[in-house]
Amino acid sequence: MFFYQGKTSDFTIKMKKRQDFWKELKKRGKIYALAPMAGVTDSAFRQICKSYGADVVYSEMASATALTFNPKETLDMLKFEKMERPYVVQLFGSKPEHFAVAAKLVAKKIKPDGIDINFGCPVKKVQKQHAGASLMSDLRLSKKVIEAVLENANLPVSVKMRSASGKIDAIKFLKNIGNLKVSAVMIHGRTMAQGHAGEADWKIIREARKHFRGVLLANGGITSAEDARAMLEKTGADGAGIARGALGRPWIFKNIKNKKLKIKNEDVFKIALKHSRLAYKLKGKRGVIEMRKHLCWYVSGMSNASELRRELVKVEKINKIKSILITDNKKILNPNI
C-alpha cells in the first residue's frame, strides 16, 4: 500500500495515497467537464450532462463558511447519485480554517471524487468575503487555503481560476503553488475584470501548460465541437470545461466527442421532460420551479420559442410541462434548431 505524508500546521498525518481519478481520465483521452455553475449544476442537470458524455461534473459552489457553521442545507445541496461519478465538489471562501472543516466534512459526508477550490467567482457578494477571484489575487492566502484542503481531505484537489485577477495572472498563481499536490487546474481564460463576457485568452492557458504538470482544463466560450477542438489545439490543454455551452444543450459533450447527434425539436422536448422529472424527483415542487430557466434554455432558437417561454416561466407541475412541450406542441411551425 502507498502512503502519502500530509503535513498539518502542528502535526504530521499519514494518509492513504489519494486515488487520483484525474490521472485515470487523462489516460483515456481528452477530458470534457461540466464546469461549476451556481444555481445550475445541481444533481439533476449533472446527471443529464453525464448521460450525454460529460467526463466529470462539478457541483455548484458551496460556502466553506456555511459548511463550518450551519452545514445542513449545503450538505443537502451537495448530494449526488453514483452515476455522476467522477463528481467534484467546489468550495468557496477565504478562511483556511473554514476550508479545513468544510473539506473534512465533505469528504466524510458526501464522499465525492474530488474537491475543487473557487478562485474565479467575480460576483460582488463573493468578492466582499475576499473569496473567488478576489482570493486569487492574494497569493499567500490562496496557498494556505489549498494547503488546508489538501491536509484535511484524502481526495484529489483541483483549483479553478481566472486568466488574471488584478496583478496576479494564472502563471504567477501556478508558480506560487508549484510545490503543492494539486491534481487539476481549470483556467477560465477571462480576467476577473472581464466577468463572463469578451474573448477568452488562450495564450495564457498555453503558457500555463509549461508551469503545471497535472491535468489542465481550458474554459471560456466553448459552445460547439469546433470551439472545443480549436481551444484544445491552441492551448495544449488536457481537456475543456464547458459551462454556458451546455445550458439547454447537454448533448454538447457527445457532439464534441465526434458523435454528432441529430437532435430534433421532439428530442429536445423529451430530454427537457426527462430533466424536469429528475428535478421533481430530487427536489419536489422547488425542482419544477427551478426548471423554468432550463426549459427556456432548451427551447431557445426554436421558431416558437417566445410563445413557449411565456408558458414555461409559469410552470409548477410536471404535467403542465408535458402538455406545453409534448401534447399541445403540435403548433410548432418550423421545427429546426
Ligand X SMILES: Cc1cc2nc3c(=O)[nH]c(=O)nc-3n(C[C@H](O)[C@H](O)[C@H](O)COP(=O)(O)O)c2cc1C
Active site amino acids: 121
Task: Give 57 or 325: the residue with its C-beta nearer to ligand X.
Answer: 57
Measured between alpha carbons, how far is 232 from 220 in angstroms, rounded to an integer?
12
Rounded to a whole number of angstroms, the minimum distance from the CB of residue 211 to ligand X is: 20
Per CB under 6 A, the list member of 96, 112, 114, 221 interacting with ligand X is 221
Task: Give 1 or 197: the residue with its C-beta nearer to ligand X.
Answer: 197
The piece of 19-27, 136-144, 215-223, 305-313 that touches ligand X (CB under 6 A) is: 215-223
Which residues from 99-158 bind ligand X, rule CB under 6 A?
118, 120-121
Task: Give 44 or 324: the residue with its C-beta nearer to ligand X.
Answer: 44
* Binding track over 7-36 against ligand X, x by CB under 6 A: ----------------------------xx
The piece of 237-245, 257-265, 269-277, 299-307 that touches ligand X (CB under 6 A) is: 237-245
Per CB under 6 A, the list member of 61, 215, 308, 325 interacting with ligand X is 61
Which residues from 62-91 bind ligand X, rule CB under 6 A?
90
The piece of 7-15, 164-172, 238-246, 292-300 that touches ligand X (CB under 6 A) is: 238-246
Q: How many residues bind ligand X (CB under 6 A)?
A: 23
Report whether 240 contacts 234 (CB < 8 A): no
Catalog residues that contact ligand X under the rule CB under 6 A: 35-40, 60-61, 90, 118, 120-121, 160, 188, 196, 219-222, 242-245
